[in-house]
Amino acid sequence: MTTGSVQQRRPRRIVNLQPVPVSRLLAVYALLVLGLAGLALRLAWLQIATGDSLQARARAIQTQSIAPIGRRRTIVDRSGRLVALDEQRFRLWAHPRYFNFPGDPPNQVRKPEEVAVRLSPVLALPVAQLRQDLLRRHSGIKLASDLDPETAHRVKKLGISGLDLEAYPHRIYPQGSLFANVVGFLNLERVPQAGLEQSRDRDLRRHEDTLRMRRGADGTPLPEGLTAGSLYGDDLRLQLTLDARLQQVAQQALTRQIKKWNAKRGAALVMDVRNGEMLALASAPTYDPNRFWAFKPGLFREWSVQDLYEPGSTFKPINLAIALQEKAIRPGDKVTDTGSLSIGGWPIFNHDRKANGVIDFATVLQVSSNVGMVRAMSHVKRDRFWHWLRSLGIDARPDTDLPGAVAGQLKDRGAFIGQPIEPAVAAFGQGFSLTPLKLIQLHAMLANGGRLVSPHITRGLRSGDALASAPGATGIQLLDPAVTRTVMGWMESVVERGQLPVKTPGYRIGGKTGTAQKAENGVYIPGALITSFVGHLPMDDPRYVVLVVVDEPKGGNVFGSTVAAPVAKEIIDALLVLESIPPSRPRTRSGPV
């Protein structure tokens, strides 16, 4: 049988075509027109009436906003050693209703007990404690804070759904208490509370803007969503002038001496006389800024720049410079020290009540003669004496970046001129008050040839690992360099011919001790003393001044030479090594000292 015959036997299907009613065509046409009209109206409504709101909603979905977290800039010492920095820490939040382990079905919810067992060894917390915390509520439980990055990474590796790690910056101070007195700290809310953290708060805040980033449908960041500079990284660091090594030597020496003499407190300062940079500013007792809550708030302030005291004999070289500058005395003059005298009915004595006879000014400093100083300064007109104390800024706040620095106290002109006892006691450093910071500034003026420099502890902001070099000589010229050289020679004789424990073989060092009565509210406290020592080195080319002040040491034989000078000796020895200061040149005697 052929294919053709088979096809012939199949019956044909015949479709009878019938005309479609016109009414039905019109109905379909009307429906299509109405649908298109509805779509056009809806499109117009979306574009015109609600277009802006819909576009805003779309932008919100497509854009991710990353708010700044308040990171702060790093602080380093003069050599780049870390002093303060932000470290990333984490808070761990738990949401028990979403607990799920890797490999579990998506809808399975693990019990808090099971999660506690896995978290316990990572967080080093008891299982029972974690279980109790996880049973408090169904979501939003803070399990831990202050987690370090390593611990946070271990939590992430567990892969437990329902655990969230929240990153935040945490301020740490690697040097501990070493710089606490000048750097300060942030409290638990990251609010600066003291020191440079507070006074330089704006400088220490990193440049952080809210970052808005466009993302595609799959979450991929889109370049067109980023504006120029939006990913700028702020790597600036605040560089100090302080040296961590010298600061540590000063801190340890000061702490030992305060403990030995059962003193109330002490301070040690080292300044570069050429430009006013502070190489060390140590205080004791101090505190650990990493654990500030464990210390008394009174320790958070740096008293050497905020508290006043009467400098006593350490001010005598400055007064002699004033007398020389006024030409009221000459370098070769002598005075008669009778051991005591009366001024306006007030008795004045030497500290040992001894008369030293006819002595030159070098000897006045060597024996620390109060009577000799009164007789020397009596040649200076009272008005000029007061004018010089005012010009030196005794009652003015020092021009410094040290936080909290205050002005000293000086009697008004009328009282100083009208009462003979005022210039008399001022001659040996009493009757007015200043801070240790102000005193070291004035002694730096003697060492650098008469220029009043501004004491400071910062060199400014630097990018990355870059460090600033020391600036050149600065300051306002107030004294004749010849005057200061004469006084410095006299101070060198104090160390050479005295019994001060600051002599160093091969180096010329000058200095002056001070043992002053302590006053409070204008009244001297019986038995309370402030001992001090100020030293200059090297005398052939003065570059550094060291000041040590110890407040209220107790016991017998309490003097600046026994309490403060030993601390200065340790600092000077370290300074010679750290700054690679060569041995002094032989002294040439070109004039009286």
Beta bridge partners of 524: 519
Amino acid at 502: V
Nearest alpha-carbon partner for 494 in 308, 373, 365, 334? 365
Domains present along the chain, CATH in parentheses: 87-103+116-174 (3.90.1310.10), 244-578 (3.40.710.10)
Residue that is written with structure tokens 């001129």 in the block? 417
Widest distance between CA atoms in the chain: 160
Q: What is the CA radius of gyration of the chain?
A: 40
- For every one of its 593 residues, what pLDDT tens digit does the chain have, with 9 covering 90 and above? 455 554 556 666 776 777 778 888 888 888 888 888 888 888 888 788 787 787 777 766 666 555 555 789 999 999 999 999 999 899 999 999 999 999 999 889 999 999 999 999 999 999 999 999 898 888 888 999 889 999 999 999 999 999 999 888 999 999 999 999 999 999 988 899 999 999 999 999 987 655 555 655 555 555 555 554 444 556 899 999 999 999 999 999 999 999 999 999 999 999 999 999 999 999 999 999 999 999 999 999 999 999 999 999 999 999 999 999 999 999 999 999 999 999 989 999 998 899 999 999 999 999 999 999 999 999 999 999 999 999 999 999 999 999 999 999 999 999 999 999 999 999 999 999 999 999 999 999 999 999 999 999 999 998 888 888 888 888 999 999 999 999 999 999 999 998 889 999 999 999 999 998 887 777 788 889 999 999 999 999 999 999 999 999 998 899 999 999 999 999 999 999 999 999 987 665 544 44
Alpha-carbon span 315 to 323, nearest angstrom? 13
140: left (phi over 0), alpha (psi -120 to 50) or beta: left
Distance of CA 128 to the CA centre of its chain: 43
The answer to whether the CB of 315 falls within 8 A of the CB of 479 is no
Rounded to an integer, what is the distance from CA 484 to the centroid of its chain?
Answer: 33
Residues in contact with 149: Cβ distance below 8 Å, sequence separation at least 6, in sequence order: 88, 89, 90
Determine the Cα–Cα distance for residues 579 and 273; give it in Å rounded to an integer.
14
Per-residue tokens: 484: 């200061």
Which residues carry out catalysis?
313
Q: Global pTM?
A: 0.81
